Chains A and B, each alone.
Chain A
Amino acid sequence: MQVSLDINGASVALDLDARTTLLDALRNHAGLTGSKKGCDHGQCGACTVMVNGRRINSCLTLAVMHEDDEITTVEGLAEGNTLSPLQRAFISHDGFQCGYCTPGQLCSATAMLDEAAKGWPSNVTADLENATPLTDEEISERMSGNICRCSCYPGIVEAIREAADAPAQKTGAEA
């Protein structure tokens, strides 16, 4: 069936079987291979993208369910050639080795920082009434759905911390 998706700000018309996952639609039909297939059942996080700003495992949702949604993939995180502060921090803190989980880590962390800024609690948040600081423990818990077999977790947490602490107006290097 015909589906029109808004991906990274561009409208993309696709002809899909109704059972096509969003991940397969992105990778196999929209030519956006940045989102990765790690386990294909929502356990590894490599396929994480943002839908209307919220992170989602794109392997667990059907493309046809997202006709009017804004979908952001790793390819859409930079503004033009300017990497986001989080992308830059992943480079400077070696937040990857093989890089296969990185697109999912970045989409997940981008949305996670927004969740934290809005005061959403996590499983380790002690105080549900008042804003809790984004400690390393909070970051680790909130990122536990994105696994990294190279175990670059120290670099990933440092990168997220730097982006969380960075002033928003900081401008960046060219991609």
Chain B
Amino acid sequence: MSVGKALPHDSGPLHVSGQARYVDDIPAPAGALHLAFGLSHVARGRITKMDLDAVRAAPGVVMVLTAADLPRPVDVAPGAHDEPLLSDKAVHFIGQPLFLVVAESHLEARKAARLGRVEIAEEPPILTIEQALEADSRFEDGPRVWTKGDASGAIMGAPHRLQGRIEMGGQEHFYLEGQAALASPQEDGGMHVASSTQHPTEIQHKVADALGLPMAAVRVETRRLGGGFGGKESQGNALAVSCAIAAHLTGRSCRMRYDRDDDMIVTGKRHDFRIDWEVGFDGEGRIEGLDVTQYARCGWSQDLSLAVADRAMLHADNAYLLPSARITSHRLKTNMQSATAFRGFGGPQGVLGIEAALDRIARHLGLDPVEVRRRNYYAPMTEGEQGHPHLEVAPGETWQEAPEDSDLASRGSGEDLPREPVAPATRNATPYGMEVTDFVLHGMTDRLLETSDYAARRAEITEWNAGSPVLKRGIAFSPVKFGISFTLTHLNQAGALVHVYQDGSIHLNHGGTEMGQGLFRKVSQVAAEVFGVDPARVRITATDTQKVPNTSATAASSGSDLNGMAAKAACEAIRGRMAEALASLHQCEARAVRFAEDHVEVGGDRISFARAAQIAYEARVSLSATGFYKVPDLSWDRIKGQGRPFFYFAHGAAVTEVAIDTLTGENRILRCDILHDAGRSLNPALDIGQIEGGYVQGAGWLTTEELVWDERGALKTHAPSTYKIPACSDRPRDFRVALWDQPNPAASIYRSKAVGEPPFMLGISAFLALSDACAACGPAEPALDAPATPERVLAAVRRARG
């Protein structure tokens, strides 16, 4: 058995010896050129004059390109065709690429890019939510609204009503490896691109589009990323396309990487949100109706914002059954970086909205916040229930022709191919009409409260706070129920390519990208499991659009689910052929052939796997296969907000304890207990790493990580000197993570569950604990906003004191 083993990351020995190559470590081909963008210093306006003579005359400069110099209009948007690579005169944010410098060295390109004299007729930028609403500056024709029942009526008729607002900041990905690409022209007009991307197919599509080539003429390779977190789903397009164009024009290899400050100024981040809510509830804290309005600042272009905002709506319920709900979402267009995918993809923002409301309900009624949460949970998965009923995809699906140039492989393409939604479920249904049949948070909550000793600690903290005027402690529990699948249904597919060589070595390739999450290790464990061999026999190879085509981004936590299944299918095809060949030689049934412990047992013989491969080869059996997988049972209408967008839900729960200093607002996480549902884990060590990392990153989003734009729209926090991500000493002092470890009721890869994004939302418990500590300072509502920097904590303490 290799599935379920805590094997270390596949690249471990390479990482610790410095041999692991990232894009910028690939030796440059002779004569390689380097690229840099000239950036806008104005948030909104029109270019009236571009004097680039000094740029062209600068040392080392080979070529300077503006939009007018490009052979054809070049767009780098994922889907919406609203991101010209270089400004077409219109300027939309500070940091927008206006021209491209091609030079002999990285430094020369960057220095020359600073010499451009660009005159821009400035217009007042749209920066705030108020400004955007006032100007009706938004994506889509108006707010999206999904409803379940009559929320207004339910709220009006409820025994208790509360309303509130929470603001939450965005988040810089701060992948430690900045965006990077390297393009090399090939014979016959083709282009090879190495890109630090989560979405090689997207890069391939955009490069082909920019060069006027068929996709088959462009090859994109990605061995590994130095962190992605969603920031490399669409944001690598501009670099890869620039490199490809410059390589095409010069005939030389071209590479580009953003300097850290440029990276933060140019690329999109997590969407910041304001959430207004009104809730009606009974005397026990049970919600009767919830009305939520989400405002997202999406930045200058659409990017993936519609899908992000959809997912925020899809998680406005988090783990709670809402008898009636109205969810409104404003996707506001502002003159800032174009906000993009970031771990959780809108989910964390949606979850924080209802978690803040539940805390208010608990404080209002004087109830324990955990108890209020439990009372509102979805009904548990019933005993013996084998997951969800397998819904038939509605017959008579209607398909629409997609426009020829549409970016089908991107989450930014917005509209899914329309299909009939399944009939709305009724019993234990989400606001979008999906029956929740796999809910396990009741049991998980019970266990976590016990292992974390929640009740006793809460009592002790209350007592301690009473005697501590300056320092206050807080404790909070928060659960997460996260929907697994791309909400753009057709993206839920994957491919793999597997070869077994005649010496028994196995070559594995699939469409997923490795960015540290351990995907390659997990999929190699799947392959090793199918063949019954040591995982060391499986050679893991770089993601390559020439091997597996038409891939989806490694995103939405889907990497192992999708690619694991595709690889399993490919391995099973080969194993089946090997079994047939061996069985026929031994005159036995193919199903009696057993692959285990690096050996094959057939007709009483036990031969090595290598020997079995050799025999199969000699028997002229194909030892190469592709595998394909598509997620079943999905059906979703995002305009109506109805259907079954998710294959299953992943769950988690956390209890966090913090301390605050009421004189300075400084704070610390003292302890964190997590119980997380990774299904039957494919690799517990990697999964626990994802959970720990996700929690710390989530807590960082809500505590220290603050993005600040000035009144001109300039991002002032564009380096680690001003933008604070968690360091070693910021992790919880006492950090206890456990896996729930029950099989996924849905038929996922070996019954495991996706684990990339869900734990991020457990960081919300840190924020709620800070809020709890602030609330301990006085009788009034602290109304803490995020990120809970010392300044905000101090302000919340003052509000609590009344």
Contacts from A to B (Cβ < 8 Å): 27, 31-41, 43-44, 46, 73-75, 77-78, 83, 87-88, 90-92, 94, 96-103, 106, 137, 139-141, 143-144, 146-157, 175
CB pair A39–B260 under 8 Å, yes or no, is yes
10 closest Cβ contacts across the A-B interface?
A: A34-B18, A98-B516, A100-B226, A97-B516, A99-B15, A74-B18, A151-B696, A43-B720, A33-B25, A91-B12
CA distance A151 to B8 in the complex (A): 16
Cβ of A36 and Cβ of B176 under 8 Å apart? yes
Render B470-485 as a binary contact track against A, CB cut-off 8 A, 1 for contact.
0000000000000000
Task: Indicate if the CB atoms of B13 and A150 lie closer than 8 Å.
Answer: no
Q: Are A37's CB and B19's CB within 8 A?
A: no
Knowing that A98-B227, A100-B227 touch, tell me 5 more A-B residue pairs with CB under 8 angstroms. Answer: A43-B721, A137-B733, A147-B727, A153-B692, A175-B13
CB-CB nearest in chain B for A38: B176
Partner of B18, one of A33, A96, A144: A33
Tell me whether A39 and B719 are in contact in the complex, defined as CB-CB below 8 angstroms, given that A94-B685, A146-B728 are known contacts.
Answer: yes
- Listed residue (B14, B518, B728) with the most chain A CB atoms within 10 angstroms of its CB: B728
A78 to B17, CA, bound (A): 7
A46 and B25 contact, Cβ closer than 8 Å, known pairs A96-B15, A98-B227, A152-B689: no
The chain B residue with its CB closest to the CB of A17 is B107
Check B18–A94 contact: CB distance below 8 A: no
Shortest CB–CB separation between residue B781 and chain A, in angstroms? 31
Does B24 lie at the interface of the complex (its beta carbon under 8 Å from any beta carbon of A)?
yes
The verdict on A155 contacting B689 (CB below 8 Å), with A90-B12, A98-B226, A98-B516 known, is: yes
Question: How far apart sit A27 and B28, CA to CA, in the bound complex (Å)?
Answer: 12
Q: Does B286 contact A (CB under 8 A)?
A: no
Q: How far is the CA of A155 from the CA of B17 in the complex (A)?
A: 17
Asked if B17 and A36 sit within 8 Å, CB to CB, the answer is no
Cβ-defined partner of A41 (8 Å) among B21, B719, B731: B719
- CB of B229 within 8 A of CB of A149, answer yes
Contact A151 to B693, CB < 8 A, known contacts A36-B226, A96-B9, A97-B9: yes
A153 touches B721 (CB 8 A): no
Q: Which of B18, B725, B728 contacts A103 (CB 8 A)?
A: B18
Cβ of B726 within 8 Å of any chain A Cβ, yes or no, is yes
Instruction: Output the residue of B174, B719, B720, B727 with the most chain A CB within 10 A.
Output: B727
Q: Name B225's contact: one of A88, A98, A102 (CB within 8 Å).
A: A98
14 A-B residue pairings within 8 Å (CB atoms): A38-B260, A39-B260, A43-B719, A75-B19, A91-B12, A98-B176, A98-B227, A99-B20, A99-B226, A100-B176, A151-B700, A152-B692, A155-B689, A156-B728
The one of A75, A87, A91, A140 in contact with B728, judged by C-beta atoms closer than 8 angstroms, is A140
Q: Write the nearest CB–CB distance from A132 to chain B, whole angstroms.
A: 16
Residue among B16, B176, B228 making CB contact with A87, cutoff 8 Å? B16
Q: Which of A27, A74, A151 contacts B692 (CB 8 A)?
A: A151
The residue of chain A having its C-beta at the shortest distance from the C-beta of B22 within the complex is: A100
State in angstroms the CA–CA spacing of A147 and B518 once bound together: 20
Partner of B224 from A38, A94, A99 at Cβ < 8 Å: A99
Are B725 and A94 in contact (CB-based, < 8 A)?
A: no
Give Cα A153–Cα B726 distance, bound, in whole angstroms. 10
Give the size of the chain B interface in residues (CB under 8 angstroms): 57
- Residue B598 interfacial (CB < 8 Å): no
Once the chains bind, are B731 and A150 in contact (CB under 8 Å)? no
Could you tell me if A153 and B696 are in contact, using CB atoms closer than 8 angstroms?
A: yes
By a CB distance below 8 angstroms, the chain B residues around A106 are 16
B647 within 8 A of A: no
Q: Which residue of A lies closest to B260 (CB)?
A: A39
Q: Which of B1-39 contact A (CB under 8 A)?
A: 8-9, 11-22, 24-25, 27
Chain B, Cβ-Cβ closest to A107: B18
CA–CA, A94 to B11, complex, Å? 11
Q: Which of A41, A99, A152 has the most CB of B within 10 A?
A: A99
Q: How far is the CB of A48 from chain B (nearest CB, A)?
A: 12
> B227, A150: Cβ atoms under 8 Å?
yes
Closest CB of chain A to B550's CB: distance in Å? 26
Among A36, A83, A103, A151, max chain B CB count under 10 A is at: A151
Chain B, Cβ-Cβ closest to A101: B176
CA distance A4 to B27 in the complex (A): 22
CA distance A97 to B20 in the complex (A): 12
B242 → chain A, closest Cβ, in Å?
19
Closest residue of chain A to B264 (Cβ to Cβ) is A39
Give min CB distance, A147 to chain B, whole Å: 5
Q: Is the CB of B8 within 8 A of A91?
A: yes
Which residue of A has the minimal Cβ distance to B173?
Answer: A149
Contacting A149 at CB < 8 Å: which of B12, B174, B733?
Answer: B174
Whether A154 contacts B731 in the complex (CB less than 8 A), given A97-B516, A100-B226, comes out as yes
| A158 → B minimal CB distance (Å) | 11
B451 smallest CB distance to A (angstroms): 18
Residue in A32, A35, A140, A156 whose Cβ sees the most chain B Cβ within 10 Å: A140
Q: When the two chains form their complex, are residues B21 and A33 in contact, meaning their CB atoms are under 8 A apart?
A: yes
Instruction: Give A141's nearest chain B residue, CB to CB.
Output: B729
CA distance A59 to B802 in the complex (A): 49
Contact of B22 with A34 in the complex, beta carbons under 8 Å: no
Q: What are the interface flags for B212-246 relative to A under an 8 Å C-beta threshold, 1 for contact and 0 otherwise?
A: 00000000000011111100000000000000000
Cα distance, A75 to B13, chains bound together (Å): 12
B709 CB within 8 Å of chain A: no
Give bound CA distance, A150 to B176, whole Å.
9
Q: Which residues of A contact B719 (CB under 8 A)?
A: 39, 41, 43
Q: Which of A77, A90, A97 is B689 in contact with, Cβ under 8 Å?
A: A97
Residue of A nearest to B722 (CB): A43
Q: Report how far A2 CA is from B723 CA in the complex, Å.
A: 38
- Which one of B176, B690, B700, B733 contacts A46 once the chains associate, using CB atoms below 8 Å? B176
Q: Which of B17, B173, B685, B735 touches A74 (beta carbons < 8 Å)?
A: B17
B224 cross-chain contacts in A, Cβ below 8 A: 98-99
Residues of A within 8 A of B18 (CB): 32-35, 73-75, 103
Q: In chain B between 703 and 731, which residues have their CB closer than 8 angstroms to a CB of chain A?
A: 719-721, 725-729, 731
Contact B9 A94 (CB under 8 A): yes
Residue from the list B8, B16, B177, B725 in contact with A100, Cβ < 8 A: B177
Q: Which residues in B have their C-beta under 8 angstroms from that of A38? A: 176-178, 260, 720
A154 to B719, CA, bound (A): 25
In the complex the two chains form, what is the Cα distance from A166 to B177 in whole Å? 32
CA distance A156 to B729 in the complex (A): 12
- B731 A153 Cβ-Cβ under 8 A: yes
Q: How far is the CB of B520 from chain A (nearest CB, A)?
A: 12
Chain B residue at minimum C-beta to C-beta distance from A155:
B689
Chain A residues contacting B173 (CB-CB under 8 Å) are 149
Residues of A within 8 A of B15 (CB): 90, 96, 99, 102-103
Does chain A have a CB within 8 A of B517? yes
Q: Does B666 contact A (CB under 8 A)?
A: no
A149 contacts B175, C-beta separation under 8 Å: yes
Our pick among A87, A99, A144 for the contact of B516 (Cβ within 8 Å) is A99
Q: Contact: A39 with B720, CB < 8 Å?
A: yes
Given A33-B25, A97-B516, are A151 and B726 also a contact pair (CB < 8 Å)? yes
User: Please, how many angstroms separate the alpha-carbon atoms of A157 and B696 in the complex?
Assistant: 15
The interface residues of chain B lying within 8 Å CB-to-CB of A36 are: 22, 176-177, 226
B697 near A: Cβ within 8 Å? Answer: yes
Q: Mark B675-703, 1 if CB is under 8 A from A, else 0.
A: 00000000001100110111111001000
Cβ distance A84 to chain B, nearest Cβ, rounded Å: 9
Q: Are B686 and A83 in contact, with the CB atoms below 8 A?
A: no
Looking at A34, A150, A154, the one whose CB has the most chain B CB atoms below 10 A away is: A150
Q: Nearest chain B CB to A134's CB is how many angstroms away?
A: 14
Q: Is the CB of B17 within 8 A of A175?
A: yes
A91-B8, A99-B226 known; A149 vs B697 contact (CB < 8 Å): yes
**Which partner residue on chain B sits nearest A35 by CB separation?**
B18
CB of B616 within 8 A of chain A?
no
The answer to whether A149 and B176 touch across the interface, beta carbons within 8 angstroms, is: yes
Q: How far is the CA of A106 from the CA of B260 in the complex (A)?
A: 22
Measured between beta carbons, the chain B residues less than 8 angstroms from A91 are 8-9, 12-13, 16
Instruction: Find chain B residues with CB under 8 A from A147 CB.
Output: 176, 720, 725-728
Kindly state whether residue B129 has any CB partner on chain A within 8 Å.
Answer: no
